[in-house]
Amino acid sequence: MERRSLLRAAVIGAGAAAFSGSLWRQAAAYPALPGPSPYGALQAADANGIMLPSGFTSRLIARSGQKVAGTNYTWHGAPDGGECFADGSGWIYVSNAELSSGAGGAGAIKFNSSAQITGAYSILSGTNRNCAGGSTPWNTWLSCEEVPTGYVYETDPWGVNPAVRRPAMGRFNHEAAASDPVRKVIYLTEDASDGCFYRFVPTTWGNLSSGTLQVLKEVSGVLSWANVPDPDGSPTPTRDQVSGAKIFNGGEGCWYRNDICYFTTKGDNRVWAYHAANNTIAIVYDDNVPGAPLTGVDNITASAAVGDLYVAEDGGNMEICIITPDDIIAPFLRVLNQSSSEITGPAFNPAGNRLYFSSQDFGTYEVTGPFRTSL
């Protein structure tokens, strides 16, 4: 603990001059530093080539380009962002397809209470580079196009209602979305080296057909939200329309929990925390810390029980790393022999005892084990 405290002091001291006032107010609690995982060291790789902590097992549930077992649905290539939805005593895992030229979209796999696959189907097709996204409190999946004038599509995880394009949420290089039911807004990340952090304020909560797109500003260390004049993003990109808009280097995944929206930026390998209640922002993790295990930060999720963050790597050494509430970061799993791929789509089932994720060049996996339910 003494070493951790010294490292944290060194990191904060070195970066203090660069921190804005709003950031500095929260920085003392961060950044996360390398330490022992609550699950222990990674063990030798299993039959799927996945290194896991003791007591955990994996299974391949869908191979890209092949039919999902027991169904007639061919699992999509380039699986990316994903999420689980409760379905009675079972659940549904949805996954985006980050494919171009109209080959993108999203698919779903249905499980019963025993985690047996009972169905698989498409919930969105004909779109482009559907990268990440996010769930809504009314049980829809927002699938985001990662192209310069990309849209957000609202989809039905059950595949009953047709997907709907939501232009009011802006056209830009969309990455991920996270719903804040307290403030009744949806946060949005932008995958560009000079990207921004947005929120969409629906006219009516629960209906995304109309509303106001806003961008986060920072002027003299003070954060504020400003309306984007032209959410259509043409001819002027949304990120260039508001003076003082705060720039983030390659926005990736985002996740909302207890008044905080966590999001990642791949250009500088950081995890951020936007504290919505007091309108401040902080760096949760920065790979400048000596021995930092996480590189190529990408999709992010959290365990509902204790708030552990799970961050997937785009490249790196193909890990999902855990960041604990006491600011320890450590590898949770590592995929071997797929170094040209990336880890995507981490999501827990409703009970929190199964973690789903994909290796983008291969397929989608499930990890089962003694995930902790208390600190």
- Dist CA 95 CA 102 (whole Å): 16
- Dist CA 132 CA 263 (whole Å): 12
What is the per-residue pLDDT across 19-62, written as a single tens digit (0 to 9) for each? Answer: 333 333 333 457 899 999 999 999 999 999 999 999 999 999 99
Q: What is the pLDDT of residue 35?
A: 95
Residue among 108, 175, 105, 97 nearest 139 (CA): 108
Q: Could you give phi then psi for residue 18, rounded to 5 degrees?
A: -90, -15
In contact, 214 and 196? CB cutoff 8 Å: no
Q: Could you give phi then psi for residue 2, rounded to 5 degrees?
A: -65, -40
Low-confidence ranges of the chain (pLDDT < 70): 1-29
In contact, 130 and 175? CB cutoff 8 Å: no
Which tokens is 349 given? 């089932």
Q: What is the pLDDT of residue 29?
A: 56
Enumerate residues 6+ apart whose C-beta is below 8 A from 137: 179, 181, 206
Q: Could you give phi then psi for residue 363, rounded to 5 degrees?
A: 175, -160
SS (HEC) of the chain: CHHHHHHHHHHHHHHHHHCCHHHHHHHCCCCCEECCCCCCCECCCCCCCEECECCCEEEEEEECCCECCCCCCECCCCEEEEEEEEECCEEEEEEEECCCCCCEEEEEEEECCCCCEEEEEEEEEEECCEEEEEECCCCCEEEEECCCCECEEEECCCCCCCCEECHHHCCECEEEEEEECCCCEEEEEECCCCECEEEEEEEECCEEEEEEEEEEEEECCEEEEEECCCCCCCCCCHHHCCCCECCECCEEEEEEECCEEEEEECCCCEEEEEECCCCEEEEEEECCCCCCCCCCEEEEEECCCCCCEEEEECCCCCEEEEECCCCEEEEEEEECCCCCCCEEEEEECCCCCEEEEEECCCEEEEEECCCCCCC
Dmax over CA atoms of the chain, in Å, equals: 58
pTM across the whole model: 0.92
Q: What is the pLDDT of residue 7?
A: 38
Q: What is the pLDDT of residue 289?
A: 83
What is the per-residue pLDDT across 108-161, written as a single tens digit (0 to 9) for each? Answer: 999 999 999 999 999 999 999 999 999 999 999 999 999 999 999 999 999 999
